[in-house]
Amino acid sequence: MRQTVPWLLMVLVITISACSSITTKRPLAESPPVVYQPTPESTPVRLGVATAPKPVEVQAAVKRVFKDAAVLDPNYNPNFLDGDFNGDGSHDLAVILKPAKLDEMNQELPPWLVRDPRGNKIKDVRLRIEKDEVLLAVIHGFGANEWRDPEATQTFVLKNVAGNDLKVHTGEEFVTANSGRKLPTPQGDLIAGTLQGNPGYLYYASANYSWYDPKTFKGTEPPAGVFHKSRTMR
């Protein structure tokens, strides 16, 4: 009997060892293969554009284009307007400025076009900015963020059209308000204002800005140019 007990214990130990060996050698369940997920293509980032211009945004746009050559004229209220003035589907910024550094405003090759919508339309005549002259500049929108975009620098500097009571009108509003008169064909929104007591509209057509005076308009458009074509033409 005494010899049987050790023998049984030996058998039990061998059995347990064998089971452990089988358990450790059992293959582990395979992990599922990693599914390849391609990196999504990047998309243009559109900044949060407010429905109305903020003064700090307007100041930044003026600084971007004119550096220290011109500043907003505080004598006008409002002194900036937002609209699609050249009809390319992108919002532009119109600002009333006064020269701060006359030499820079009259530099030989300025990064903007100086035009007089009420005066000479000849392209070869170089117009100069005068001291204390009130100007209306239009910064055309560019890219996803329109006139707020860092690359939005294409600008017209316009003489003799910074009137009072400036407001933005759509083309439909313009036609309705001037029913029965000879009208131009604007490519975008218009800026209504009063100059020397006479109401009129600043509008863009044929690659240039012109002034519509209901008393003197004869139904002719300015000659076409090559600067700032509409987006569809570009």
Which residues touch 84 (CB under 8 Å, ≥6 apart)? 90, 91, 92, 141, 188, 189
Quote helix, strand, coil % in the chain, to nearest 5. Answer: 20, 25, 55
Q: How far from chain centre, in Å, is Cα 180?
A: 36
Mean pLDDT of 189-217: 95
pLDDT of amino acid 230: 43
Share of the chain above pLDDT 90, in %: 65
Residue keyed to tokens 């002719």: 220
Which structure tokens are listed for 228?
Answer: 């700032």
Handedness of CA 86, 155, 43, 230 (dihedral sign): positive
d(CA 166, CA 25): 87
Q: Which amino acid is at 185?
A: T
Decide: helix, strand or coil at residue 160: coil
d(CA 58, CA 152): 12
pLDDT of 23 higher than 60: no
Q: 151: phi > 0 → left, psi -120 to 50 → alpha, else beta; which?
A: alpha
Confidence of residue 109 (pLDDT cuts 50, 70, 90): very high
pLDDT of amino acid 192: 97
Mean pLDDT of 102-120: 93
pLDDT of 197 higher than 80: yes
How many alpha carbons fall within 13 Å on the CB side of residue 206?
11
Domain-wise residue ranges, the chain? 55-212
Pairing assessment for the beta strands 80-83 and 113-115 based on DSSP bridges: unpaired
* pLDDT tens for each residue of 128-173: 999 999 999 999 999 999 999 999 999 999 999 999 999 999 999 9
pLDDT of amino acid 125: 78
Q: How far from chain centre, in Å, is Cα 113?
A: 19
* pLDDT tens for each residue of 75-100: 998 899 999 999 999 999 999 999 99
* pLDDT tens for each residue of 181-195: 999 999 999 999 999
